[in-house]
Each structure stands twice: as C-alpha cells, then as structure tokens.
C-alpha cells in the first residue's frame, strides 16, 4: 500500500492541504524456477544461483483519490473518486546468486545479490462506485523492481 498525503508541486508550493491518494496493490503469483547449487561441507566454496518466474499475476488494484479543488472528469467537476479492478495481465521474474566460503574455524563468509520485478496491468473505471462521477476508464500500469545485495557472516558451534 502507498499513501500520498500533502502533495507538493516540486517547486516548494504545496497544493491542497486535503489532497490525498491511496494505492493498494494485492498480487498473488504462482511461480516455478530453476536453482543450481554447489554445496561443500566444512571448508570450501559454496555457490547457488537461480531464476524464478510466473507469466501470470493474480490480484487487485484499489485507488482512492481526494482533491479539495476538484478534478475535471468528462466535463464534470468531482472532488475525487474510488476505483478498483482485478489485475488482468502481469508477470513476475526473480533472479538471485549467493556465494560463500567456509573456513576451518567454523565460520562462513558470503555475499548475495537478488533482483525482483513484478508488473501488473489493468484498467479502472472511476465512476463505477459513484453515480455522480462519469464512468471513465483509465489504464493502470504497476511495476515494482527491487535490487538486494549484502553480505553474511555465519559462525557454527
């Protein structure tokens, strides 16, 4: 969920004090993947890499916007709207790699990297839940990308 309150024009002049927007994206993805792993016991080099993915994303997108000064939608001035729909298309791709080296003193040092992308598309009809708002359809494209990198120190006892 992402909440946007007290929006700013980027020039230091705030717009309406009561202007808000809330976006909620729920996504469920079945996925399959392939992982390659080389694991040694004790001292040695371990490596694991893989890719996971899904050509399908199930879920929903909810969007609620409130604008005190009003919005013009198909000629009508409205003070905001709620809109939602189920995700119609999408995909998920994730890749990762993990490498570590064990020492004879019961320690293991490692590093990892991970990349994740989720894309979902649908349309929302802004007047669907309010008869005072014209029923206009807007395309929605949602994309989330994450990079993760880090290190690890493990002590075995």
Q: Is the pLDDT of residue 69 over 90?
A: no
Mean pLDDT of the 124-139 span: 83
Which of 2 and 156 is assigned the larger pLDDT?
156
Alpha-carbon dihedral 138, 128, 75, 69, rounded to 10 degrees: -90
Q: Is the pLDDT of residue 70 over 60?
A: yes
Mean pLDDT of the 96-115 span: 89
Residue 152, number of CB atoms within 10 A of its CB: 12
Q: Where are the domains of the chain?
A: 2-155
User: Tens digits of per-residue pLDDT, 114-125?
Assistant: 999 999 999 988
Predicted pLDDT of residue 9? 46
Predicted pLDDT of residue 11? 43
What pLDDT band is residue 157 in, cutting at 50, 70 and 90?
A: confident
Predicted pLDDT of residue 114? 97
What the block records as the tokens of 109 is 């040092």
| Ordered alpha helix ranges (H), 28-116 | none
* φ and ψ of 15, to 5 deg: -85, -150
CA distance 28 to 32: 13
**Concatenated DSSP letters for 16-64?**
-TT-EEEEEEEEE---EEEEEEE--SSSEEEEEEEEEEES--EEEEEEE
Predicted pLDDT of residue 151? 95
Residue 61, number of CB atoms within 10 A of its CB: 22
- The pTM of the whole model exceeds 0.85: no
Lowest mean pLDDT segment, chosen from 8-17, 19-28, 70-79, 127-136: 8-17
Residue 99 sits at the vertex; the CA angle it makes with 110 and 34, to the nearest 5 degrees, is 140
Closest C-alpha among 89, 113, 91 to residue 100? 113
Query: Percent of the chain, pLDDT > 90?
Result: 34
User: Tens digits of per-residue pLDDT, 31-50?
Assistant: 899 999 987 766 778 899 99
Q: Is the pLDDT of residue 4 over 80?
A: no
Residue 142 sits at the vertex; the CA angle it makes with 26 and 92, to the nearest 5 degrees, is 70
């Amino acid at each position: 969920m992402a909440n946007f309150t007290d929006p700013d024009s980027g020039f230091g002049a705030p717009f309406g004090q009561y202007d808000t927007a809330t976006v909620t994206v729920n996504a469920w993805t079945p996925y399959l993947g392939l992982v390659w792993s080389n694991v040694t016991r004790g001292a040695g080099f371990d490596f694991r890499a893989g890719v996971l993915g899904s050509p399908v994303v199930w879920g929903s997108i909810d969007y609620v916007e409130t604008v005190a000064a009003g919005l013009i939608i198909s000629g009508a001035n409205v003070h905001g709207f709620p809109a939602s729909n189920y995700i119609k298309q999408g995909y998920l791709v994730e890749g990762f790699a993990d490498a570590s080296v064990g020492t004879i003193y019961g320690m293991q040092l490692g590093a990892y990297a991970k990349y994740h992308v989720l894309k979902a598309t649908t349309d929302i009809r802004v007047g669907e839940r309010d008869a005072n708002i014209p029923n206009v359809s807007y395309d929605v494209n949602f994309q989330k990308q994450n990079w993760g990198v880090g290190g690890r120190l493990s002590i075995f006892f």
